[in-house]
Amino acid sequence: MRLRQVVLLNLAASNGRRQMHPADTASRVYLDNNATTRTDPAVVAAMLPFFTEHYGNPSSPHGFGSEVAAAVALARRQVRALLGAASEQEIIFSGSGTESDSTAILSALEAQPGRDEVVTTAVEHPAVLALCQHLTKARGTVVHVVPVDERGTLDIDAYRRALGPRTAVASVMWANNETGTIFPVAELAALARAAGALFHTDAVQAAGKVDIDVQAAGIDMLSLSGHKLHAPKGIGALYVRRGVRLTPLLRGGGQERGRRAGTENVPGIVGLGRAAELAAAHLPDTATRLCALRDRLERGVLAAIGDVLVTGDPHARLPNTSNLAFAHADSDGIVTLLDRAGVACSHGSACKSGMPGPSHVLRAMRVPFEAAHGAVRFSLSRETTEADIDRALAVLPGIILRLRARPGAPAARSLQHA
Ligand code: PLP
């Protein structure tokens, strides 16, 4: 571990990139699991033979191929079980959550003549919103963007009004990546169905963290991503309910029964399957434990620091996510100083870091600017310990105090939602 850290430090230095702080890797605290998770060693162990031992192409008509095809089939069953899907044939492996989102939305538009509109929300991940913006610009697609309130709760009446005879698909995330707010997807899916539209949900942040039963919830299509649930990066899946027509995004060979061309990323698929199995097994215990850890973090912060908003819906939130908006401090400063103190977290969404100003999610929630400007996301995983939380709590008050005391820091005013 120490040796690897030295190599990483040297690499960072030789590339002229941001240097890692000198804290020992093992003693650092990782609270950025919504950005990505550590690949579980059991997942890595399941994958390894598929690089050097079982390296056949699953489409090949010989033993090398069939042993690998069997592993892919097992992974499909494992993902099916996590989602409560009726059949493993409803699971299509993809390269990422982003690819699954694109496939679902583009397919819905293409496969249903006469239905050419999309309904989505103001707080979706860019994997959905940027695609919708592109569709509007490039094809003139009408996209209805449903607002949320200051808790991040969806305006259901506006959603109902946005659905109509031209809606091809309603795409609404299961849980928000920044605040953890959970949407009532079963209710939303039923409304979409009543309007004759398909319902797609981006469950990238929900899968493995909350119970998912696609049949009970009436979901037509669901996206998930391996690296958010302790599988590697670059592997995802799309659930497509039997009977829903799918137009593939990628065409070529007949892989994935013609629904996603390209030779399968077998180690990634095997890893995703094992990770899905582990997530399902850990889910009940982990959810309870993470709620307790998240609440410990929030209680500790609120007791030690004034002018903090806990953003997101307090009644419907992922157990692992805490988005705290510190007034009169800036997220960049907080994240940087926490990193120096050995605690990794994120400002807003990692996919957008580097972009100035509060995230589109916090703006949609009308979080007051002086607080949104200092919003930080802490996201836990089943590997997070009480000691990790206490470490963050030990350094955070000093950091906020220091930032608020900086010359030019905005004067303190009491916080209220706009
Ligand atoms: N959707 C949500 C809600 C996410 O949080 C992310 C990643 O952060 C994605 C989609 C994109 O997934 P991937 O990184 O696998 O493309």
Nearest CA to 6 out of 347, 19, 349 is that of 19
Residue nearest to atom 12 of ligand 1 (CA): 97
| Two tokens, residue 323 | 């988005």
Concatenated DSSP letters for 39-67?
A: PPHHHHHHHTHHHHTS---TT-SSHHHHH
Q: Which atom from ligand 1 is nearest to the alpha carbon of 36?
A: 8
Ligand 1 pocket residue status of 348, Cβ below 6 Å: no
Best mutation site among 225, 238, 352 for ligand 1 pocket (most ligand atoms within 8 Å of CB): 225
Q: What is the pLDDT of residues 294-328, one digit of tens each?
A: 999 999 999 999 999 999 999 999 999 999 999 99
Residue 168: phi and psi, rounded to 5, are -85, -45
Ligand 1 pocket residue status of 178, Cβ below 6 Å: no
Q: What is the pLDDT of residues 252-266, one digit of tens each?
A: 999 999 999 999 999
Q: For all residues of the chain together, what is the average pLDDT?
A: 91
Write the DSSP symbol of residue 204: T
| Two tokens, residue 371 | 């607080």
Provide the residue-wise pLDDT of the chain in tens; the chain has 418 residues. Answer: 333 333 333 333 333 334 444 445 568 999 999 999 999 999 999 999 999 999 999 999 999 999 999 999 999 999 999 999 999 999 999 999 999 999 999 999 999 999 999 999 999 999 999 999 999 999 999 999 999 999 999 999 999 999 999 999 999 999 999 999 999 999 999 999 999 999 999 999 999 999 999 999 999 999 999 999 999 999 999 999 999 999 999 999 999 999 999 999 999 999 999 999 999 999 999 999 999 999 999 999 999 999 999 999 999 999 999 999 999 999 999 999 999 999 999 986 444 555 567 899 999 999 998 899 999 999 999 999 999 999 999 999 999 999 999 877 755 444 544 3
Give the residue numbers marked as catalytic.
Answer: 351
Distance 96 CA to ligand 1 centre (A): 8
Q: At what angle do helices 126-139 and 97-111 cross, to 10 degrees?
A: 40
Concatenated DSSP letters for 191-244?
A: HHHHTT-EEEEE-TTTBTTB---HHHHT-SEEEEEGGGTTS-TT-EEEEE-TT-
pTM above 0.75, yes or no: yes
Report the pLDDT value the prediction gives residue 356, as an integer from 0 to 100: 62
